[in-house]
Amino acid sequence: MAISSVLVVGAGELGVAILRSLWQHPDHFCLSVLLRPSSIASSDPTKVADLNKLRSWGVAFVAGDLTDNTEDQLSEIFSAFDLVIGCTGFVNGPGTQLKLTRSVLAAGVHFYIPWQFGVDYDAIGRGSGHDLFDEQLDVRDLLRSQQRTRWAILSTGMFTSFLFTPAMGIVDIGVPSVRALGSWDTAVTVTAPYDIGQITAELVARPDSFANTPIFVAGDTLTYAALADIVERLVGKPVTRSLLTVEEARSNLSRDPDNALFKYYIVFGQGRGVAWDKTKTWNAQLGIPVLNAEQWARKHLALTGP
């Protein structure tokens, strides 16, 4: 069956990128977004502008809250749609992704794309450095235990912007510096949210591609050594290079067990399930144009180099 009505859960950076791409796609989709009632009624000028942009795309607002609403209440909301796309991230805390998935399945939604835009949780396995990753495996187990709802997971790697955000502690263009996680030969896959939006829209237009399995996509796959070389080209001078080993990241986490950044450092430093061959990805096979890491940086960063 074709997908007509789509509900995106959350309107953060990725949710908006997906809604934009679905709106721009030549196929016609009836678009809705699940937002907290307080967000829909907000008088904050920035939020009002964001809502007006969504309205201009023909997006309908559906009031709902993943924390306050029960699973039955969420299921009632979801039952009106052919496809639900989770775009909430981890901000709502433990249990949210399972609650969302159980609600989708109970509603009998035909198609589902859960919030798994990231690493290959199957390859990483349970007991990784990040506690919320085990819940992502619970979601996969739940999806694989049923046949009623067809699903697809888009494994995208890290958002490209995260590589270049100083707060992430990997690249600081202003210094300039690059920190490798694990080793300089460790690889990481990255994809920009805008490109994830385009890829998701193509997936929605191809419902036969919902094969109850992860789909691997990528904007780029590169080692930290290659990343440092890219930064040197961007700024036109040598960069300070430092290395954070997995052992050092574990030691840091033991002293600061609530620091989510150290949890990510452990997972990405191990290098398992965080990188794949970009030439073999779904978007490469379809010829969907995407930005690699250097192209993204030249487009989005204020650079002083060549």
CA atoms in the 13 A half-sphere facing the CB of 281? 26
List average pLDDT for each run of 10 residues in the chain, which is 306 residues long: 95 96 96 96 94 97 96 98 92 87 98 97 86 91 97 98 95 96 98 98 97 97 98 96 97 93 94 97 97 96 68
pLDDT in tens, 174-185: 999 999 999 999
Pairing relationship of beta strands 60-63 and 171-172 according to DSSP bridges: unpaired
Burial class (CB in 10 A: 0-12, 13-18, 19+), 136: buried
* Cβ(110)–Cβ(39) below 8 Å: no
Sequence-distant (6+) residues with CB within 8 A of 205 are 3, 25, 27
pLDDT in tens, 130-176: 778 899 999 999 999 999 999 999 999 999 999 999 999 999 999 99
